[in-house]
Chains A and B, each alone.
Chain A
Amino acid sequence: MNGRDAAVERLLDTGLQERFADRRAPDVREAVAARLAVPAEVNRPADHRHRLATAALVLLGVFVAGGVAWLRNDEDAAQVQEPERLIPPDLPPSLIAQSAAALARIAADVTSLHCMYEVPASDYQLLERFVALRRLAITGPAVTSPWPADVFAPFTAMPALTVLELPLQPAMTPEHLRSLAKVPQLQFLTLHLNRPLLAKDVAALQALPNVRSLSLMGGSLDAHAVRAMSLLPALESLTLARIGGCTEPVLRELRTVHRLRRMRLYGIGETSRASRLGSPGVAGAGLSVAVAKALGELPLLDEVSIEQCSLSAEAVTLLPERLRGFALTRCPDAGADVVEALLRFRGLRRLELDRFERRWWITSTAARPTPRVGPPEFDAATAGMPDQEPIWRAQAELLRKLPVQRLRYWSALPAEVAEALPAAASLAEIELVWCGPAEIEAVAKVQKLRRLRLESCRFTVEDVRPLTAVRSLAQLDLRWASGSREDYAALLPGVAVTVQ
């Protein structure tokens, strides 16, 4: 074999390992920045001795980790680590301010804040004192008044602000967006569009060096705006939620956004059953065959999330087979064939599914039931839904046949899915929303369960007793649950418990 052949073979090896083993370039941004921050003489490139010392330290670390795992009799300590997920950090629930007066009463050291009212420009200055914020959301109706150029200046004094959600008001310009470049740690940006998003707005976002995730909600965009996203320097995750203008030609431009690893479509494309339920979605393509083909051209795409969109099994089969994450929720037009099509993602690690519940679809235009915590009741007859059992059987097959490590499931587990859980050999993390005691019993049979999150579930402290039999359980996260952290911790010694 000559030198050229050998090089092409290595190119092929690289491609095959990327595709089948997900072995690709690490993200060295932080490491490079950290090394550049210290003087050169103490941070030379790794030489031979340095490598030996590093190897020794790594070996020591391995022995320590192994010893700890042995002491804990934890067979799964070597669980394969997934790459960093492209979702915001799990912060405490936000404190909500519904007026300027309420905002004034909130302590300055809050880390997560949501201003949920018609926030005028003058009230942005009131945010200046919240220097510990990590997440800030401002939502509310459109405000048509002019906006000073420095309206976002208070955010620049928030060194830990990572997650920011803002309205893009009719009178805001690209310069307003560009000024966000001075927010040092901003990584997750959501814009509620109170006007169309233009290519020049997206171009202004190029100045934001660290924004990895962009979510666009409401309003509308066009093909030029989508194409401009290809120039965003760090963009890896994009959400398009109930946004107008998402026709097939516009969404096909997503193929130019080469750095995308995660794509989420929400409420795009009319679905007949959703329309009957009073939540028709915004007119657009949804996950059509052409859009799926375009997404298939993205070389790094790793995770796709489809919520309340029109889609077909054929479209799913055109997505890249290498996907590691897939979410399919609130898509009443998706039958068992769509769920079965997910079987082609043979390396799937993260899966999010749901059980159809009519209550999810009640909107402001229809009668709204009294909100309550716990699983809503299924009302197939009123909803006019087809038989759900084939869908549940298909969901169970996914768990049996795919190497899923993390499952998030909305609503009560159907018996078919619950029975498949013990057969999911790789399953280590489960998140359940709107569950009850029966679901806790079901997940207690998952042999390698390490982390369980229960969100808006209805149960008592005593109901979690079956988890005492799960020796691998290391973490239990409870959101909107009854009982105190101490109660659960006393029942599950050795398990890290968080309650919010």
Chain B
Amino acid sequence: MSAAPPPAPLDLGGLVTRHQQSVWRYLRVLGAAPDLADDLLQDTFVIALRRGLVDQGYAATAAFLRATARHLYLKSHRRRVALREVEEADLVWQQECSTDDGAGWFLALDRCLDEIPPRGRRLLEGTYGEGLGRAALARELGLSVLGIKTALRRLRAALRDCVERRRQA
């Protein structure tokens, strides 16, 4: 009886490079805060590789890593997160991002952001880039605090619509 050929050596650096961004984004969609996603990302690779992950093609490897990441996320939030919520988030990822690791979705978002008028862009920059509070932005943009809240809600809704339109086009 001939012995099975030894598995090909795993390209660790290449494997991590290929998958780290999508696994991190996936964890964020599940509900992990950025710092927790950083931790779990590392754990995901370590555990998956310790459990004998072999590179069986891009899609299969990505699915294995996502399953590991999901398990770790649930474990880290055992008493505080409903399994159903995580499953729904996983479904969103499958529908929106699984074919290209989210590259298309994020590219569409980038395009949509390029179309935002300057005041809207400033609002997003202040909120997400500089961490300014609503009061500071209200002063800067000459709006009320409630106006900032409403404008942000509308901007986000418009961005979601825009991404969806672009994805369907």
Mask, B10-28, CB within 8 Å of A = 1, is: 0111101110110111001
Interface centre among A10, A11, A259 (most CB of B within 10 A): A11
**Which B1-58 residues have C-beta < 8 A from chain A?**
11-14, 16-18, 20-21, 23-25, 28-31, 34, 37-39, 41-43, 45-47, 49-50
Whether the Cβ atoms of B29 and A19 lie closer than 8 Å is no
Whether the Cβ atoms of B34 and A23 lie closer than 8 Å is yes
Q: Which residues of A contact B25 (CB under 8 A)?
A: 11, 14, 25
B139 at the binding interface (Cβ < 8 Å): no
Mask, A136-174, CB within 8 Å of B = 1, is: 000000000000000000000000000000000000000
Question: Are A25 and B41 also in contact (CB < 8 A) when A6-B85, A233-B14, A234-B13 are?
Answer: yes
- Which residue of the partner chain B has the closest CB to A297? B107
Whether the Cβ atoms of A10 and B42 lie closer than 8 Å is no
* Tally of contact residues, A, Cβ under 8 A: 50
- Which residue of the partner chain A has the closest CB to B38? A26
Kindly provide the distance from the CB of A317 to the nearest chain B CB, expressed in whole angstroms. 10
Question: Are A21 and B129 also in contact (CB < 8 A) when A16-B124, A297-B107, A320-B110 are?
Answer: yes
**Which A1-51 residues have C-beta < 8 A from chain B?**
2-4, 6-21, 23-29, 31-33, 35-36, 40, 43, 45-46, 51
Whether the Cβ atoms of A12 and B159 lie closer than 8 Å is yes
B160 at the binding interface (Cβ < 8 Å): yes
Q: Which residues of B contact A40 (CB under 8 A)?
A: 50
Kindly provide the distance from the CB of B100 to the nearest chain A CB, expressed in whole angstroms. 9
Among candidates B37, B50, B129, residue contacting A347 with C-beta atoms closer than 8 Å: B129
In the assembled complex, the Cα of A26 lies from the Cα of B34 at a distance in Å of 10
Mask, A354-376, CB within 8 Å of B = 1, is: 00000000000000000000000
Whether the Cβ atoms of B41 and A28 lie closer than 8 Å is yes
- Which residue of the partner chain A has the closest CB to B15? A233
Instruction: Give the dominant DSSP class at B's interface.
Output: helix
Whether the Cβ atoms of A32 and B45 lie closer than 8 Å is yes
A209 at the binding interface (Cβ < 8 Å): yes
Whether the Cβ atoms of A15 and B109 lie closer than 8 Å is yes
Q: Which residues of A contact B113 (CB under 8 A)?
A: 19, 321
Whether the Cβ atoms of B46 and A36 lie closer than 8 Å is yes
Whether the Cβ atoms of B29 and A16 lie closer than 8 Å is no
Whether the Cβ atoms of A4 and B12 lie closer than 8 Å is no
Whether the Cβ atoms of B92 and A11 lie closer than 8 Å is yes
A346 at the binding interface (Cβ < 8 Å): yes
**Which A379-407 residues have C-beta < 8 A from chain B?**
none
- Which residue of the partner chain B has the closest CB to A25? B24
Kindly provide the distance from the CB of A391 to the nearest chain B CB, expressed in whole angstroms. 25
- Which residue of the partner chain B has the closest CB to A31? B42
In the assembled complex, the Cα of A43 lies from the Cα of B45 at a distance in Å of 13
Whether the Cβ atoms of B42 and A16 lie closer than 8 Å is no
Whether the Cβ atoms of A14 and B47 lie closer than 8 Å is no
Kindly provide the distance from the CB of B131 to the nearest chain A CB, expressed in whole angstroms. 8
B67 at the binding interface (Cβ < 8 Å): no
Whether the Cβ atoms of B110 and A258 lie closer than 8 Å is no
B140 at the binding interface (Cβ < 8 Å): no
Mask, A447-483, CB within 8 Å of B = 1, is: 0000000000000000000000000000000000000
Q: Which residues of B contact A258 (CB under 8 A)?
A: 103
Among candidates B24, B114, B128, residue contacting A20 with C-beta atoms closer than 8 Å: B128
**Which A276-333 residues have C-beta < 8 A from chain B?**
297, 299-300, 320-322
Q: Can you list 13 contacts pairing A with B, beta carbon distance less than 8 Å? A: A3-B89, A7-B92, A14-B25, A14-B28, A15-B109, A15-B110, A16-B127, A25-B25, A29-B13, A32-B42, A45-B47, A233-B13, A234-B17
Known contacts A6-B88, A32-B45, A209-B12; 8 additional CB pairs below 8 A are: A15-B106, A19-B110, A20-B128, A25-B23, A32-B49, A36-B49, A234-B14, A321-B114
